[in-house]
Amino acid sequence: MNTKGLIIIISGPSGAGKTTIIHRLLQEVPGLRQCVTYTTRGRRPEEREGVDHYFVDEPAFTRLIEDNELAEWAGINGYRYGTPKAGIDALTSKGNHVVIDIDIKGAASIKSLYPDAVSIFIKPPSIDALKERLGARGETDRLDMRLQRVKTEMEQAHRYDYVVVNDTLDRVIASVKEIIEQTKAS
């Protein structure tokens, strides 16, 4: 008998470390899978199609919305991102736990469709650390736009089930793993 898997929402500002955290969790938490999202932004050199995102153009993304295939979608930093309902349902129905990397609006949409989902907000240790991380990955062209969103996103952290500061990778991984274990046990 398969029991339905958990849905774990991970949100936070660009540069907070969400991708790095999720990649570690996928390696260390048995039965954890990532729901691959759609995006209209270009692929970064380290990203893989169908693993990190499904990279689509604007007309294809619009069709996904019109066909009601997305559990949530939003425009972020000039691009659109969306989470496929079928991806979430296929994974959780097989007993897998699903981690979803989404913005604050998307998190609210997922929680409304899947009220048992656990939401975790990843905070950077400081704005200076956030600027440094974004600069290190060469995203200076949209840095001002990203930093403008940070204040709004940080103000919404209290809406999450948990808030974890990403000051050291090992500590944040341990904290998120503990949250997952506690949620599975309840």
What is the per-residue pLDDT across 169-183, written as a single tens digit (0 to 9) for each?
A: 999 999 999 999 998
Coil, strand or helix: which one is 118? strand
Is residue 77 situated within a structural domain?
A: yes
Whole-structure pTM value: 0.83
Q: What per-residue confidence (pLDDT) applies to 126?
A: 79
Separation of alpha carbons 140 and 65, rounded Å: 30
What is the per-residue pLDDT across 107-131, written as a single tens digit (0 to 9) for each?
A: 999 999 999 999 999 998 877 777 7
Separation of alpha carbons 120 and 131, rounded Å: 22
Q: Which domain holds residue 103?
A: 7-185
CATH of the domain at 129: 3.40.50.300
pLDDT confidence band for 51 (50 / 70 / 90): confident
For the chain, the domain total comes to 1
Is residue 2 situated within a structural domain?
A: no
